[in-house]
Chains A and B, each alone.
Chain A
């Protein structure tokens, strides 16, 4: 797993790659929740190069979304591979998280442009 951060205006784009599993999720958790704790309120996670996620990884997304919600923040996930998206659907996360096709769509959602929703 590799994690990259990129700031665009008020939005932080986090790219997570390869395997997000029991061995790597704690690192991802501290990075993602660390962003929330230091005041970031608009976070995009680009999953375009993420090819595997297990429940330990899923928990990190849930934790981050739950922490951001009462703060008025937004978490948007984008570019999930079909096999990863299937897991998000199976666990019911597509109901409670904003998941879009591309990074551009994610930025549009955060700008409040309804066309992307």
Chain B
């Protein structure tokens, strides 16, 4: 794996997810990131991006989300920055994974996936922006 980083700035719009996924995959291929690691990060970023677009703003028009990806020694790290309303994914309630079908609700699935797929999720609020950091070990 080669060390490097990329910063991707995208309009806060669901139709940009395809572009995000494409750039993440391309970064992964260029840097020799194992496909399982890349798949997990791609999905986690997709979930976070989707969440910000759908819930971060009263009106997402003209808003931007900045995604930074970086390879470190044995780790793929990402940072997502948005100017939407304050949201710490670590505080989101867990879906009831053991509930019967009739009792399962639709909320929280994406955030649960993020927490399950990543080895580390950190959050801070900085200058009226959400700064989310996710880490995935490479093995």
Which residue of chain A has the shortest Cβ distance to B109 in the bound complex? A55
Q: State whether B116 touches A66 (Cβ < 8 A).
A: no
What range describes how many residues of B lie at the interface?
20 to 34
Do most interface residues of chain A lie in helix, strand or loop, or is the interface mixed? helix
A residues lining the B interface (CB < 8 Å) = 19, 21-23, 52, 54-56, 58-59, 62-63, 65-66, 69-70, 83, 87, 90-92, 95-97
Q: Within 8 Å CB of B97, what residues of A?
A: 91-92, 95
Q: State whether B50 touches A22 (Cβ < 8 A).
A: yes
Q: Which of B10-18, B65-73, B74-82, B121-129 contacts A (4 or more CB under 8 A)?
A: B10-18
B residues lining the A interface (CB < 8 Å) = 14-15, 17-18, 21, 36, 39, 43, 46-47, 50, 53-54, 95, 97-102, 104, 106, 109-110, 112-113, 116-117
Q: Within 8 Å CB of A21, what residues of B?
A: 17, 21, 46
